[in-house]
Structure 1
Amino acid sequence: MRAADLAAATPQTRDRYVDLLRVASLGTVVLGHWLMAAVTRGDDGRVEVGNLLAVQPGLQVLTWALQVMPVFFYVGGFSHALSYRSLRRRTPDTHVYSAFLRARLQRLLRPTVVFIGVWGAAALVLQLAGDAHGLLDVSLRLVAQPLWFIGIYLAMVAFTPPLLKLHERWRSPRSNGVGTGGGWGVFGVLVAGAVSVDVLRFALGVPYVEFLNFAFVWLAIHQLGFLRADGRLTKPYVLAAAGLAGAALLVAYGPYPLSMVGMPGERISNMAPPTLALLCHGLWLVGAVELLRAPVARRLERPRVWRAVVVANGISMTAFLWHLSAMLGVYGALLALDVPLPEPATGPWWAQVPVRIALAAALTAVLVAAFRSFERPAVKPDRSATEGSPRRSGAYSGPAAALGVTLALLGVLGLSMVGFGGLLEGRTALLIAVHVSAPAAVGMTLVGWLLVERVGVHAPVN
């Protein structure tokens, strides 16, 4: 269907503001990456890619508004809760997990696998030709970095069914004898986990415990989406005020840095692994966007505005995957044409920013036009078409799907760390406690994706 048809067919019950938040959060990340990149060429011709926030530390406070990945995970929790509940009503219990994973991961993994395939092939050709040097060598590492987000989001999807069941159990009234959490019980446990991890990490010096906050912090923010789906975020001003105050106090008096994004060379990062300060930052952002819901939602009733949101939603993941490729392509063209690259954060550098961003946006649009079809969900085969094929037993579909999504998330996380460079040299990166090479990461991603697709496609839906 065309975007105009999809927009016109939107039911009145759809939460249009959530769709806008999804697009706006990814768009803000893309714009932030384009702005923060500081490429320079030394007198010896060596090309380096730096970070504007490292050159101008005073700008790091802007990350308190522009680091909006928590909003995307919050929106994901809302959508996952509605999707799983809908599927649960129409699908046998033995197949619902695998069907849910496939349904939610199609628009995520299919364009990601294509992105990995294109860049992996290009990296292999360049290395065989001996041309992977300078900015190109840096690009082979940098273009894969946004894949960390894909890996974390895969974990959010995988944990949705068990955490949603706990959420529903703990929201039951006392009279049922089930729980008294009022819906906030699981969220409270996850927050307590994040607090405990930081105490063990910073106060007691326990090694490796910090990696647990990849789960506790992001799952806590994701859990807020469940609460929103149940209409329980009734006082967003409290959430915003508590989150902002908590983040400010932790940064002012704790070991946490000011920046809410990772900075090169820093000893402690709020992002990798996530910290309690980042969790408070996420609370403040969720509260803030909920405070804006009513006035913005009224504007989304306008057909032209809503149609633009529908169009953007249909290409957002493709644009996110390729936006760094476009930015580095622009810098590569400027270097090839011997266009002077001013020192970052100087007057000439700022004057050049609008031109670079416009060129990056144009090149991203070209890449989106080339790869956007892979973001459309594949049509599930007709039951009659697969009637003669053996159907995977329901007893094994859930574990097989869980194995598939685990392999996929480990693969994309590993690839985000090691990049596409050194495919033939055995270059590795440390993923928690295991060294992962690019070929191994690509292999895990492909096997995991195929397993989720294979298991989920045979799940019967009424």
Structure 2
Amino acid sequence: MGSSVRELAEKTPAGRDRYIDLLRVASLGTVVIGHWLMAAVTVGDDGRTEVGNLLAVVPALQPLTWLLQIMPVFFFVGGFSHALSYRSLSRKAPEGGGSVYSAFLRARLQRLLRPTMVFIGVWGVAALLLQLVGEGGALLDVTLRLVAQPLWFIGIYLAMVAFTPPLLKLHEWYGWGAFGGLVLAAGAVDAARFAFGVPYVEFLNFAFVWLAVHQLGFLRADGRLRARVPAAMAVAGLAGAAALVAFGPYPLSMVGMPGERVSNMAPPTFALLCHGIWLVGAVELLRGPALRWLARPRVWRGVVAANGVSMTAFLWHLTAMLGVYGVLIAADVPLPEPASGAWWVQVPLRMAAATVVTGVLVAAFRRFEKPGVARELTRAPSTVAGPAAAVGVTLCLFGVLGLSMVGFGGLLEGRTAMLIAVRVTAPVAVGMALIGWLLVERAPTARRWR
């Protein structure tokens, strides 16, 4: 792997935006570290294992989420990359032939869906076998529920890819106006939710909030986040988020907290959108120093290596963390009270162990993150390729979102969870994700057009 990473780093085109690659790695890495840090696992006197949230134990730490809730940066990076990819494919497509949309979906989703489907397959089979042999209790039941939760991010990202072509067209027509329209829509949703009590309207902000952040990536791709724009975004976004939290119905934490009536994350709120705007402005202000740092060959090789396994590490990091806790519990190692002095002393040791286990899992599954070899086209792509790919990504979206809510536990009991206004079970969610992935995989690729 070392030699291939070195070769990839040395072959980096001069025009490649290395800072975008750094942001992609840094955002996912921050999420991983945040999850490891916030997990507060305890074992009661009755032997029951619970996984709490450190931020609920120590509310004074909740302002840290204004730095650690960095998923908006990842979606901003996605918008930048999607704009470049779709425009490149549009230029390469033969006149009157091929489906640019389906080729775009496959090109953007291949490295995302393959490791995701492997993750779902491995955990689905493991959960089914454990249930058949009657294993459960303690940390295992919690693990079967929690390891699927990060899949919500995959679902949101799928939606962003699916909506890229029409929203990119709106961006080309209206520029900042398209972004402003999404911001106004997100604000209107919160007004309807909190001022008028309109039921279910809040779920629309899963689209408006995240797609607005994604739209900032389009603006970045066109060079419109220059001069004083990032500073203005950072100031306005931070001031807006602070005002909404201070005077509105929004909680301080930018991640979901147990027991809170309102979460800034699920569904996303206008306060989270302001938070995303300030974060994007802040990281853009750091671009110059970061690019000078990335010019160092060793640093850039590290970023290239991390980018090659980032999604695999993200998918398996909770498995690693809960596995470490499982070993500690099985070995009768006392788990200190969360946020106590002994707990903080144990934190770096647990995180180091989770890093090692994640590395082992990455070594086992990283090959699925590599794009496969495209098949040669023997005939023109079908006119139904685009609609089939759209159906595929829709099924994947609902499948992984449903699975993130219901988890892998209770596969045989038909345990359900509410996805917007529809109840889903784990087997149905897995089936939708699998069928959708197969439809996306059958889409034509850009290589067929060369």
- Answering whether residue 118 of structure 2 is matched by residue 118 of structure 1, we say no
Paired residue secondary structure (1:430): strand
For 2:283 and 2:87, locate their aligned partners in 1 and report how far apart those are by CA, in whole Å: 25
- Answering whether residue 68 of structure 2 is matched by residue 89 of structure 1, we say no
> Quick one: which of 331, 354, 359 aligns to 1:360?
354
Paired residue secondary structure (2:45): coil
C-alpha contact (below 8 Å) 2:376/2:448 kept by paired residues: no
Offset at 1:457?
4.6
- Answering whether residue 385 of structure 2 is matched by residue 393 of structure 1, we say no
Where does structure 1 lack aligned partners over 5 or more consecutive residues?
Answer: 171-182
For 1:206 and 1:220, locate their aligned partners in 2 and report how far apart those are by CA, in whole Å: 22
In the alignment, which residue of structure 1 is the partner of 2:65? 63
- Answering whether residue 437 of structure 2 is matched by residue 449 of structure 1, we say yes
In the alignment, which residue of structure 2 is the partner of 1:102? 106
In the superposition, relative to structure 1, how do residues 459 and 382 fare at CA in structure 2: closer, same or farther (>3 Å)?
A: closer
- Answering whether residue 267 of structure 2 is matched by residue 267 of structure 1, we say no
Identity of aligned residues (%): 75
Offset at 1:230?
0.3
C-alpha contact (below 8 Å) 1:237/1:287 kept by paired residues: yes
For 1:460 and 1:201, locate their aligned partners in 2 and report how far apart those are by CA, in whole Å: 47
Offset at 1:460?
3.9
- Answering whether residue 165 of structure 2 is matched by residue 161 of structure 1, we say yes
In the alignment, which residue of structure 1 is the partner of 2:188? 196
For 1:456 and 1:355, locate their aligned partners in 2 and report how far apart those are by CA, in whole Å: 47
RMSD: 1.1
Structure 2 length-normalised TM: 0.97
In the alignment, which residue of structure 1 is the partner of 2:208? 216
> Quick one: which of 145, 150, 154 aligns to 2:154?
150
Paired residue secondary structure (2:413): coil
Matches within 5 A, 1:409-448: 409-448=397-436
For 1:456 and 1:280, locate their aligned partners in 2 and report how far apart those are by CA, in whole Å: 38
Tell me the alpha carbon deviations over residues 160-180 of structure 1, each in whole angstroms, 9 at most, x when there is no partner. Answer: 01110111122xxxxxxxxxx
For 1:106 and 1:347, locate their aligned partners in 2 and report how far apart those are by CA, in whole Å: 45
Structure 1 length-normalised TM: 0.95
For 1:360 and 1:146, locate their aligned partners in 2 and report how far apart those are by CA, in whole Å: 17
C-alpha contact (below 8 Å) 2:115/2:365 kept by paired residues: yes
Paired residue secondary structure (2:308): helix
Paired residue secondary structure (2:417): strand
Give, as a single letter, the amino acid of the residue that structure 2 aligns with 1:325: T
Give, as a single letter, the amino acid of the residue that structure 1 aligns with 2:225: L
Paired residue secondary structure (2:309): helix
In the alignment, which residue of structure 2 is the partner of 1:30? 32
Of 409-418 and 1-10, the range deviating more from structure 2: 1-10
Give, as a single letter, the amino acid of the residue that structure 2 aligns with 1:356: R
C-alpha contact (below 8 Å) 2:92/2:446 kept by paired residues: no
- Answering whether residue 357 of structure 2 is matched by residue 376 of structure 1, we say no
C-alpha contact (below 8 Å) 1:84/1:161 kept by paired residues: yes
C-alpha contact (below 8 Å) 2:250/2:271 kept by paired residues: yes
Paired residue secondary structure (1:456): coil
> Quick one: which of 288, 298, 313 aligns to 1:319?
313
For 2:381 and 2:125, locate their aligned partners in 1 and report how far apart those are by CA, in whole Å: 33
For 1:162 and 1:133, locate their aligned partners in 2 and report how far apart those are by CA, in whole Å: 48
> Quick one: which of 3, 10, 18 aligns to 2:12?
10
In the superposition, relative to structure 1, how do residues 331 and 306 fare at CA in structure 2: closer, same or farther (>3 Å)?
A: same
For 2:446 and 2:279, locate their aligned partners in 1 and report how far apart those are by CA, in whole Å: 39
Offset at 1:68?
0.1
For 2:448 and 2:110, locate their aligned partners in 1 and report how far apart those are by CA, in whole Å: 17
Tell me the alpha carbon deviations over residues 339-374 of structure 1, each in whole angstroms, 9 at most, x when there is no partner. Answer: 000000000000000000000000000000000000
In the alignment, which residue of structure 2 is the partner of 1:341? 335
For 2:363 and 2:256, locate their aligned partners in 1 and report how far apart those are by CA, in whole Å: 31
Give, as a single letter, the amino acid of the residue that structure 2 aligns with 1:318: T
For 1:147 and 1:345, locate their aligned partners in 2 and report how far apart those are by CA, in whole Å: 28
Where does structure 2 lack aligned partners over 5 or more consecutive residues?
Answer: none
C-alpha contact (below 8 Å) 1:137/1:421 kept by paired residues: yes
For 1:203 and 1:53, locate their aligned partners in 2 and report how far apart those are by CA, in whole Å: 28
- Answering whether residue 129 of structure 2 is matched by residue 135 of structure 1, we say no
Offset at 1:185?
1.1
Paired residue secondary structure (1:144): coil
Offset at 1:459?
8.3
Offset at 1:456?
3.0
Matches within 5 A, 1:246-265: 246-265=240-259
For 1:47 and 1:305, locate their aligned partners in 2 and report how far apart those are by CA, in whole Å: 41
